[in-house]
Chains A and B, each alone.
Chain A
Amino acid sequence: MIGLRLRQLVFASIIALIAYVFLANVMFPASMGMALDSYSLTIVGKYLCFAMLAVALDLVWGYCGILSLGHAAFFSLGGYAMGMYLMRQIGERGTYGHPVLPDFMVFLNWEQLPWFWYGFDAFWFAGLMIFFAPGILAFVFGWFAFRSRVSGVYLSIITQALTYALMLAFFRNEMGFGGNNGLTDFKDLLGYPLTSDGVRVWLMLSSGLALLLSLFLCQKLLATKFGRVLVAVRDSESRTRFLGYRVEHFKLVAFVMSAMIAGLAGALYVPQVGIINPGEFSPLASIEVVVWVALGGRGSLYGAALGAIVVNAAKTFFTGFYPEAWLFFLGAMFVISTLYLPRGILGALEDLAQQVRGKAPKLSQEGLS
């Protein structure tokens, strides 16, 4: 199967990337200047986080038929959880030098820490919240939505409403998350300064490992009976229900798991870019994730990861050299990928490979519509 080989190729190249950075930047940093500089490290680390977000979305969209237009909300919640930990680590080094309160709270004349900021000075607690904050939101939202059988475009629209409402809420100073400036000016993570090259390397490496881990976990999950039922739900929800499966439970588990992966991606993203603000919640951000998945190949975890990396590399290129053209290009990618590449880049490559070998392309598209 050439398709399998393409997937292995994606997997192998992520491993190769991690191995290269590990060898060149950690083991033998002095040898021959092969090490990546911190700018490229940050860029690569960012792409890996986005790839993870794409995998999370593909799990629910590609395998369960839930088109979420609000996945950036889970990503940002994970990011905010990490950001709150990093804010607490600043301590007295802030502009106002307050031992407990972050700068923006001192600026707003707040007397004490709001209750939901307690515990974020401990890394283990923040680490739990990275999963629980998006997970609980996904659980509550999904519980209500799937139980009352909200599906299709209605679900997409209300996920969009969810992230839009969160964006408006986080823009408010009264919420206690830094208003429109968000959280920034981070100093260090686990006692190591964030700006140092060593920390950047390890952040990038952990992003890569987290991506591999989530790919691996999702793949294992989809290979079980549970995964088969998910695909059945995607292809025909009513029939699966009539066969006696509690469809809403399957959807809920997939949705919560996806939200947690997205949260982890957000948490790894924030220390690398050094800021989190409510703009990350914007509906446009969520929809961009959808195009990564659509372009890479919906219903293929590796395709989704590949799509995220390709689109973001294109974005870096265009916004750097032709900022005017970026939206034209992104828009065109939406149209082209939906019209001509229903199974994304990876799917198209697979079909091509099979045609070269003289076989008819797989007819597995109708289930994806």
Chain B
Amino acid sequence: MVRVGSFIFSLFFLFQVASAQTFVQGKALADASLKEKAVWMEKLASDDSEEATRILQYWLDGILVYWPQENRLVRGIKEGRRYQLQDLMTEEALGAVSSREIDRVKTNNSLRSALKQVLGSRQLGSSDRNVRLSAIAELKRRPDYKVLPLLKKREASEQDDQVARQLSELIGLVLLESAEANDQMEGLRRISGGLSPEVKDSLSRFLLNPNLDPGVVEVAQRELDAITRSLMYWGIGQDLFFGLSLGSVLLLAAIGLAITFGVMGVINMAHGEFIMLGAYTTFVIQQWIPATSMWSLLISIPTAFVVSGTAGIILERLVIRHLYGRPLETLLATFGVSLILQQLVRTVFGPLNQSVVTPDLLSGALDINAAFSVTYNRLFVIAFALCVLVTLWGVMQRTPFGVRVRAVTMNRGMASSMGVQTQRVDALSQLTNVGPNLGQSYIVDSFMVVVFGGVGNLFGTVFAALSLGVANKMLEPLSGAVLAKILILVFIILFIQKRPRGLFALKGRAAED
């Protein structure tokens, strides 16, 4: 009896005061049963004030507490075993208390989702368009016919195009919940062309309803088919983009390898470690310059270039030049160097992975629609690979140095007899060994790229890198990542049988043996 009495009393109290300004006395809320809490929530929902919004939000977050000492609701944040109390509105600190001195306003799952609904429709009126967009996204998950009037009202006053489109889609989803065929048709018209998973799910669910008008079913089925089809196309596009970005990474890793192999006839097994050196250079620079600034990136690219290049020149001077004409021995010696470099890095930086922070400019994504988004760092890798490629191509085709390099590639003996200093060409060609933050795990892959594309051929390397990257990403959803990789390897092993010199074999003028 006492409970019911207090419930009636609190309702009475709420009707009396109406505004949340006096709602600070929250003992009733903290003590209420879950059913009573639902009623409280409805009341708060009809109150437009800032304070009501805050109470709902804190309630949802689980940090709304009743403080008996001052007899009001406050915000309590748990810190260790104590609660830091803050005023609801001003967020002014009210001191720390132990958990026994306060009552948390508890929730359960159904209350929580109802709270989300209420807050979601409330945020639709926010002046920040991002808040409005996320509120719409939240409401889309569980379309509720009850909020339809509110949505219609918002739609009439919405200015922003994108928000209006999303809102219209949401209204479409809500209309599908209606029992009227007209409303349903209107809903279908609104969601037509939408690609988000929510739209697809709602449509599939909608079609399970046995009491539908045959005409509506036909339209809905057509819409669902169209959505499935275009999702498939966009999915292929997404795979293609991922594949291209993976291919660009492979290209950056493999292009230096292709040149050293092509020009010097040398397989550089330490190539992966040069990439690693470049990556660690970036890491070290980020320790000095805050990683989030663009400067860090602008400085680390040329520095990584210089560091790896220097390492390349040292390697050439100390080891490789003693082993020219003996490719297998060079392979072994450079492998030894790669082991030494690996252990060196492990000793200096520790065995754990160090994280390199992506600059702000490169994080984030460009959402084209619900099924297709372009992340900036992938886009950057593609653009960077393109720049490197164009520069390299320019150097190789348009400068005296490039002419010499190509001459040496075709026939070392002939070129040196024509007065080209092959040694110097060799030393300089090591300079191309650099990429941004890549792991050494790419080494086997980049060998595959070089072998597949044909040695010493820029175009072949580009083609091989991009096609292997795309093929890898295309196969992944079909067979899983590991199996995709195995399939690619098996394909290359088979392919080499057919074209032992790669896809675009260089027509060398040197005879075999």
- Which of A38-46, A144-152, A355-363 is near enough to bind chain B? A144-152
A161 contacts B326, C-beta separation under 8 Å? no
- Which of B61-69, B185-193, B221-229, B333-341 is near enough to bind chain A? B333-341
Within 8 A of B (CB), among A62-76: 67
Interface string of A120-144 (1 = CB under 8 A from B): 0000000000000000000001001
* A11 in contact (CB, < 8 A): no
B327 contacts A153, C-beta separation under 8 Å? yes
Within 8 A of A (CB), among B322-348: 322-323, 325-333, 335-340, 342-344, 346-347
Quote the shortest CB–CB distance from B457 to chain A (angstroms).
14
* A321 in contact (CB, < 8 A): no
Q: Which of A171, A238, A335 contacts B512 (CB 8 A)?
A: A238
A161 contacts B448, C-beta separation under 8 Å? yes
Quote the shortest CB–CB distance from B71 to chain A (angstroms).
59
* A342 in contact (CB, < 8 A): yes
* A314 in contact (CB, < 8 A): no
Quote the shortest CB–CB distance from B267 to chain A (angstroms).
5
Quote the shortest CB–CB distance from A176 to chain B (angstroms).
14
Tally of chain A residues near chain B (CB < 8 A): 48
* A227 in contact (CB, < 8 A): no
Closest chain B residue, CB of each to CB of A69: B331
Closest chain A residue, CB of each to CB of B501: A154
Across-interface contacts of B413 in A (CB, < 8 A): none
Measured CA separation A152–B485 after assembly (Å): 24
A237 contacts B513, C-beta separation under 8 Å? yes
A327 contacts B333, C-beta separation under 8 Å? no
Interface string of A287-322 (1 = CB under 8 A from B): 100110010000000000000000000000000000
**Given A161-B448, A237-B513, A338-B332, is A154 in contact with B500 using a C-beta cutoff of 8 Å?**
yes
Q: Which of B323, B346, B444 contacts A164 (CB 8 A)?
A: B444
- Which of B158-166, B398-406, B488-496 is near enough to bind chain A? B488-496
**Given A158-B492, A165-B490, A334-B333, is A149 in contact with B500 using a C-beta cutoff of 8 Å?**
yes
Measured CA separation A158–B236 after assembly (Å): 30
* B365 in contact (CB, < 8 A): no
* A162 in contact (CB, < 8 A): yes
Across-interface contacts of B319 in A (CB, < 8 A): 335, 339
**Given A158-B451, A168-B485, is A287 in contact with B335 using a C-beta cutoff of 8 Å?**
yes
**Given A330-B339, A331-B343, is A162 in contact with B332 using a C-beta cutoff of 8 Å?**
no
**Given A283-B444, A328-B340, is A165 in contact with B332 using a C-beta cutoff of 8 Å?**
no
* B100 in contact (CB, < 8 A): no
A334 contacts B500, C-beta separation under 8 Å? no
B500 contacts A294, C-beta separation under 8 Å? no
B340 contacts A165, C-beta separation under 8 Å? no
Across-interface contacts of B485 in A (CB, < 8 A): 165, 168
Q: Which of A157, A328, A330, A339 contacts B447 (CB 8 A)?
A: A157
Interface string of A231-256 (1 = CB under 8 A from B): 00000111100000000000000000
B331 contacts A339, C-beta separation under 8 Å? no
* A9 in contact (CB, < 8 A): no
Q: Which of B328, B340, B451, B490 contacts A67 (CB 8 A)?
A: B328
Closest chain A residue, CB of each to CB of B327: A153
Within 8 A of A (CB), among B411-466: 444, 447-448, 451
**Given A237-B513, A328-B340, A333-B336, is A144 in contact with B494 using a C-beta cutoff of 8 Å?**
yes
Measured CA separation A161–B487 after assembly (Å): 11
Across-interface contacts of A213 in B (CB, < 8 A): none
Interface string of A76-119 (1 = CB under 8 A from B): 00000000000000000000000000000000000000000000
* B486 in contact (CB, < 8 A): yes
B323 contacts A236, C-beta separation under 8 Å? no
Within 8 A of A (CB), among B206-233: none
B336 contacts A334, C-beta separation under 8 Å? yes
Quote the shortest CB–CB distance from B316 to chain A (angstroms).
13
Closest chain A residue, CB of each to CB of B513: A238
Measured CA separation A36–B147 after assembly (Å): 84
**Given A283-B444, A327-B343, is A339 in contact with B333 using a C-beta cutoff of 8 Å?**
yes
Closest chain A residue, CB of each to CB of B480: A172
Quote the shortest CB–CB distance from A296 to chain B (angstroms).
13
Interface string of A271-297 (1 = CB under 8 A from B): 000000000000100010011001000
Quote the shortest CB–CB distance from A263 to chain B (angstroms).
20
Across-interface contacts of A164 in B (CB, < 8 A): 444, 489
B335 contacts A334, C-beta separation under 8 Å? yes
Quote the shortest CB–CB distance from B350 to chain A (angstroms).
12
* B482 in contact (CB, < 8 A): yes
* B355 in contact (CB, < 8 A): no
**Given A172-B482, A172-B483, A338-B323, is A161 in contact with B342 using a C-beta cutoff of 8 Å?**
no
Quote the shortest CB–CB distance from B485 to chain A (angstroms).
6
* B497 in contact (CB, < 8 A): yes
A148 contacts B500, C-beta separation under 8 Å? yes
Across-interface contacts of B329 in A (CB, < 8 A): 338, 342, 369
* B498 in contact (CB, < 8 A): yes
Measured CA separation A40–B448 after assembly (Å): 42
B332 contacts A294, C-beta separation under 8 Å? yes
Closest chain B residue, CB of each to CB of A340: B322
* A169 in contact (CB, < 8 A): yes
Across-interface contacts of A324 in B (CB, < 8 A): 343, 347
* A217 in contact (CB, < 8 A): no
Q: Of residues A169, A324, A327, A342, which shows the largest number of chain B Cβ atoms within 10 Å of its Cβ? A: A327
Quote the shortest CB–CB distance from A23 to chain B (angstroms).
40
Measured CA separation A147–B498 after assembly (Å): 10
Measured CA separation A241–B327 after assembly (Å): 22
A153 contacts B332, C-beta separation under 8 Å? no
Closest chain B residue, CB of each to CB of A238: B513
Closest chain B residue, CB of each to CB of A342: B329
Measured CA separation A157–B261 after assembly (Å): 13
Measured CA separation A147–B500 after assembly (Å): 10
* A2 in contact (CB, < 8 A): no
Across-interface contacts of B261 in A (CB, < 8 A): 153
Q: Which of A239, A330, A342 contacts B336 (CB 8 A)?
A: A330
Residue pairs across A and B with Cβ atoms less than 8 A apart, 11 shown, are A144-B494, A150-B497, A158-B492, A161-B447, A172-B483, A283-B444, A326-B343, A330-B339, A334-B335, A339-B323, A369-B325
Q: Which residues of B contact A (CB under 8 A)?
A: 261, 267, 319, 322-323, 325-333, 335-340, 342-344, 346-347, 444, 447-448, 451, 482-483, 485-486, 489-490, 492-494, 496-498, 500-501, 512-513
Instruction: Other than A158-B492, A171-B482, A287-B335, give 20 A-B pairs with Cβ distance below 8 A.
Output: A67-B328, A67-B331, A144-B494, A150-B496, A154-B501, A156-B331, A157-B447, A158-B493, A160-B444, A160-B447, A162-B493, A168-B489, A172-B483, A334-B332, A334-B337, A335-B319, A338-B330, A339-B319, A339-B323, A369-B328
The 9 A-B pairs with the shortest beta carbon distances in the complex, nearest first, are: A334-B336, A331-B339, A327-B343, A331-B340, A165-B489, A331-B336, A338-B333, A335-B336, A369-B326
